[in-house]
Amino acid sequence: MLKGKNVLLAVTGSIAAYKSSFLVREFIKKGCNVKVIVTESALQFVTTITLSTLSKNPVYKDFIKDTSTGEWNNHVELGEWADLFLIAPATAHTISNLVTGKADSFFLATFLSCKAPVFVAPAMDLDMFKNKSTQENINVLKERGLMIIDPDDGELASGLEGKGRLREPEDIVATINQYYLDKATLKNIKVLISAGPTHESIDPVRFIGNHSSGKMGFALAEAAQKRGAKVQLVCGPVNLISPDNVERIDVVSAMEMKKEIKKRFTETDVLIMSAAVADYQPLKKTTQKIKKKDAEIEIKLKKTPDILRDLAKIKKKQIVIGFALETENEKDNAYAKMKSKNLDAIILNSMKDKGAGFGHDTNKITLITPTEERNFELKSKSLVAEDILNFIEECI
């Protein structure tokens, strides 16, 4: 759930600040982009060099970046960059300032500018944490929508035992990950996606195929798992890295793809058939390489199985979506395909649209249902995937 998110970490003046370097590492391991703000007092416990090296980004502390040139750090821009803002460790003094809305430091000004979810991980001595004013301040932050990551019980810097110890970095990251998982809009929805081409063998070294890269299907798989879906990706021969938390099933031919999809279809909530399955396969595959001769040769072909039509016939609760890449009479052909295959929707690509179709990192689609058309501009395939999933959420 955290991969690709922009994490803004604020480190304040607590002995627990030493754990901030481990926090940065945990977020980086999850695939996050991390930027760090430190307060003046935090520098008594941790260095900017350590945090900058681990995060691979400069560390922010002051409004002024370079006094000789007047270059400044833009707190508003930084707040807008963040997908989530974590304050860890958060001292009693820090929590009090968050409540009062003080803006006398770069950190506090950035906090007031940030519209992303804010997580606060308190760290202080037992009596300070239990103090009525601290608890009231924490309750105010909760009422304002901030997420409080409660401290652990344990040995404290004073030598006392009790609640106030900063949660371990792994626990903090796991808590934030769970927050996003709980809010995931496709949580526990089973999504089955096909991607890429199929290769239909002529002989041991040659095949019939097409130019599909599989990028659209992989973008859909990544976007769906980020929304909490349980994703299975059946893909033909492609040179792509599997998205995290996606079960990948590699196949070669149309028959293999049909077998793997059919095996999973009855347990699926949504089928998105973005694969470009070859329409024909050789009637007979030779066991040896066909040698080049002077005379021309003919290869007889037969139709490959129509995976989408066969599965849509037996659908019950499933949402079934197909793709249509057309070169002429685009909408007529797409509507005919949708009707003949009993689809809930079809995604139309036109080869006439520059930047759409096979091989590109972009796509331009028209989403067609039996009752409406939705036209989208040319955009990255990852954003196209979001448009398609938004439609699926409406259907669900």
> 366-368 and 345-350: which strand pairing?
antiparallel
CA distance 42 to 61: 10
Residue 304: which of 216, 197, 212 has the closest Cα? 197
Are the C-beta atoms of 9 and 36 separated by less than 8 Å?
Answer: yes
Residue 226 has which token pair? 């980020």
Task: Classify the C-alpha dihedral 191-194-196-201 as positive or negative.
Answer: positive
Question: For residue 311, which amino acid is it?
Answer: L
Whether 333 is catalytic: no
Q: How many CA atoms lie within 13 A of 57 on its CB side?
A: 19
Residue 323: which of 233, 212, 240, 164 has the closest Cα? 212
Task: Report CA dihedral (243, 247, 187, 271) to the nearest 10 degrees.
Answer: 100
Active-site choice (74, 210, 333, 342)? 210
At residue 393, φ and ψ (nearest 5 deg) are -60, -40
CA distance 196 to 218: 9
* Element of type H or E holding 165: strand 161-165
List active site positions.
210
